[in-house]
Amino acid sequence: MKLIKAFVRTTKIDDVIRALRAAGAPGITISRVNGVGYGYEPLLFTLAPSEIKKAPEVGRVEVVCDDDGVDLLLTAILTSANTGYPGDGIVFVTPVEQAIKIRTGDEAPESLTRQRNRNVPKGESS
């Protein structure tokens, strides 16, 4: 299994999500984060908590998938997030040693699939 973690422009998040869904991503986590890239000049601003808003807001998109799905999902991210201008973002692919679904105790690869109507309390989903 692999964890694909992409940092992309916030304006491209919807495109990336659509592309990942079309490519068959088993699940997607999206977060808004603040970050600085390679052009960071420490004298221009500080990353103190009161000043963090000066760092640009970017989207962090995370997907865990089987090793076989990495290339397809990576291509989906790279093509959908690309504008051709500096600041498009970066993608990291790292190994995942174990994945366990908290509710069921299922381990990968079953933990990465959605199972319906398996002792799900009313009003909740798996």
Its pTM stands at 0.77
Contacts of 59 (CB under 8 A, 6+ apart): 7, 8, 9, 10, 12, 13, 16, 30, 31, 32, 33
Reported as a single tens digit per residue, the pLDDT across 91-125 is: 999 999 998 888 888 887 777 776 655 555 555 55
Q: Which segments of the chain belong to CATH 3.30.70.120?
A: 2-95
Mean pLDDT per 10-residue section of the chain, whose length is 126 residues: 95 96 94 74 58 75 94 97 92 93 84 61 54
Topology of the domain covering 2-95: Alpha-Beta Plaits (3.30.70)
Q: Do β-strands 89-95 and 29-34 pair in parallel, antiparallel, or remain unpaired?
A: unpaired
Nearest partner of 91 among 103, 104, 80, judged by Cα: 80
